Amino acid sequence: MKKAVLKKYRKKKNYKLLFYILPFMVFVLLFSYVPLFGWSIAFFQYTPGASLSAKNFVGLKYFRQFFLDTVDMSRVLKNTLTFAVLNLITMPLPLIFALMLNEVPHKKFSKFVQSITTFPNFISWVIVYSLAFSLFSTEGVINSILMGMGLISKPTNVLSSASAAYWFQTSLGIWKGLGWGSIVYLAAISGISQELYEAAAVDGAGRFRQMIHVTLPGIAETFIVLLLLSIGNFISVGFDQYFIFQNPVTLKKLEVLDLYVYRLGLINKSYSYSTAIGMIKSAISLVMIFGTNQLAKKIRGNTII
């Protein structure tokens, strides 16, 4: 009898549930879907307060401008791609870090290292900037130590050095994300069957060869998934970091796509052009994300998103 009641309960559509879920979906509608209508301003010469009418309709003007504006775009794309490539090159670092942690015989030490190195992931870029400023500015501790040792004669400020901008920002990203990035690999390592290590040991493999032949293959799949995800997100290198660290000297190196969209829209007040570029960026991202997802399906027989 019970089963019959349950079956009936499951089959019958329960309209009360809609009553529960719809209030929440109103938020989704208001804050995620309504803004999409704002895309329409990309086809008009929009000024705040004015209404969209046939008079200021410009069609694809702003989309064409994106492809014609070679001076700005080549600079912005060069910055974006440079950071994207640097991020890709440094992707194995958390994996190597996880391997190193895994080799530590004292669990307490590796837990300690992990705790300290993961913490920077949870502070904002504002805080990172404040820390960097305290350390690297002309009055910062690094300069005073180097001056004290007589290694340099006058303070140099790496924060406002355009030539150091690329590697400095990438290093900050590594500093902030290394520990956090290694957790997923450590989780994968802990999932590797102990029997595999024992079998390798019986075959005469030392710790090093166990690492190469057992641990590494065990986390390779995780690495490939993350690699595919980051390829999918290739042009989304982030906004916060560059927004906060930019200054008049470094802007020409730190101006990535998202920062450019921001500056065009809210600093230059080119609302329509900024929206158009944002749309082009979203379109490219979507294609890349779902493209890599299909690729993942082919390679692994399983999608990643």
Partner 1 sequence: MLRKTSPARMAFLVVNTIVLGLITLLCFYPFWYILVYSLSDATKAQAGVTFWFKGFSLNNFVKVMELKGIGSAVFVSVARTLLGTLLTVFACTFMGYLFTKEEMPARKFIYRALIITMYVGGGLIPTYLTISAYKLVNTFWVYVVPSVVSAYNVILVKTFVEQLPASLEESAVLDGAGAFTVYRWIILPLSKPIVATIATFTAVGHWNSYMDNYLYVSKSSLNTLQYLLYKFLNSTQELTKMLQQGDTSAIHQMEAVTREILTPMGVRMTITVITILPIFLVYPFMQKYFSKGIMIGAVKG
- Region 199-258 residues binding partner 1, contact defined as CB under 8 A: 201-202, 206-208, 222, 225-226, 229, 240, 244, 247
* Distance (Å) of CA 207 to CA 4, 103, 234, 298: 59, 8, 36, 34
For the record, the structure tokens of 270 come out as 């080119």
CA distance 59 to 49: 20
107 sits near partner 1 (criterion: CB under 8 A): no
Which DSSP symbol is given to 239? S
What angle is formed at CA 299 by the lines to CA 296 and CA 301, rounded to 5 degrees?
A: 80
- According to CB under 8 A, which one of 25, 52, 152, 212 is a site residue for partner 1? 25
Residue whose CB is less far from partner 1, 59 or 204: 204
79 sits near partner 1 (criterion: CB under 8 A): no
For the record, the structure tokens of 144 come out as 């005073």
Give least dist CB 54 to partner 1, A. Answer: 20
Q: Which stretch binds partner 1 (CB under 8 A): 36-44, 58-66, 68-76, 83-91?
A: 36-44
97 sits near partner 1 (criterion: CB under 8 A): yes
299 sits near partner 1 (criterion: CB under 8 A): no
Q: Which stretch binds partner 1 (CB under 8 A): 58-66, 69-77, 212-220, 269-277?
A: 269-277
- According to CB under 8 A, which one of 47, 57, 89, 139 is a site residue for partner 1? 139
Give least dist CB 34 to partner 1, A. Answer: 5
For the record, the structure tokens of 260 come out as 């450019």
Q: Which of 114, 121, 158, 130 is nearest to 250 (CA)?
A: 158
- According to CB under 8 A, which one of 63, 66, 133, 166 is a site residue for partner 1? 133
Q: Using CA of residue 165, residue 166, residue 172, residue 173, what is the dihedral sign?
A: positive
